[in-house]
Amino acid sequence: MPTWLIWVIIIVIVVVIVAAIVTMAGKRRTVQRRDRAEELRQQASAQAAGLTESQRQAEELRAKADLAQAEAERQRERAETAEQSHQVEQAGYEDRLREADRLDPDIDHKAGDYEPDVWNDERSEGTAPGSTTSSTSSTPPSTSPSTPTSTSDTPKHASTTETAPDDPTPDDSTGTSPEPPPQR
């Protein structure tokens, strides 16, 4: 056999062996990639269960937040209703004071600077007739105890709770003074 034929056979055998090694390595790499892909899929499936749990928790917290917001809105509406009710009562109370001042001949209710003495009257409601608190400023009533003063310092509508026999319009059927609005 010629030497060149031996060299061709050796080269063909080497090429076949290299091709077989490359093919087996490729198959091994493909199998490894399949195994790795399967592991990643299993990890993703395990994480998907956690995602479902976290989604459930997020939805539960959102529902709680929505309930709290709805309750806060209901409370806000109740507060607004109470405030409106208070304003209506306060307006009625001030109207009664204005009416009393209009009927009182000692008070000039037509004066340009006329204002009913609402704060003094509210402070004197809890005191005996003829007494008032020590403060006569236009600030809201304080929780300090009342001190008696003379009747001349107290407005007419605050110092008496009885209606005159010749008065055609008593405040109510019992003849008592009107109740002040609740204080905030």
Does the pLDDT value for residue 163 go beyond 60?
A: no
Q: Looking at per-residue confidence, does 178 or 102 come out higher?
A: 102
Does the pLDDT value for residue 51 go beyond 50?
A: yes
> Where does residue 11 fall: left (phi above 0), alpha (psi -120 to 50 degrees), or beta otherwise?
alpha
Give the C-alpha distances (Å, rounded to integers) separating 12 from 16, 17, 33, 72, 96. 6, 9, 31, 87, 121
Amino acid 67 reads L
Instruction: Give the pLDDT band of residue 182 (cuts 50, 70, 90).
Output: low
- pLDDT tens digit sequence for 10-19: 999 999 999 9
- pLDDT tens digit sequence for 130-147: 444 444 444 444 444 444
What is the signed CA dihedral for 105, 107, 112, 116, rounded to 10 degrees? -130
**Mean per-residue pLDDT for 114-143?**
49
Q: Looking at per-residue confidence, does 125 or 132 come out higher?
A: 125
So what's the pLDDT on residue 161?
44
Does the pLDDT value for residue 152 go beyond 70?
A: no
The residue with tokens 């499936």 is 45
So what's the pLDDT on residue 20?
97
Classify burial at 103, counting beta carbons within 10 Å of its beta carbon; exposed 0-12, middle 13-18, buried 19 or more.
middle
pTM above 0.85, yes or no: no
Q: What's CA 58's distance to the chain center, in Å?
A: 22
Does the pLDDT value for residue 76 go beyond 80?
A: yes
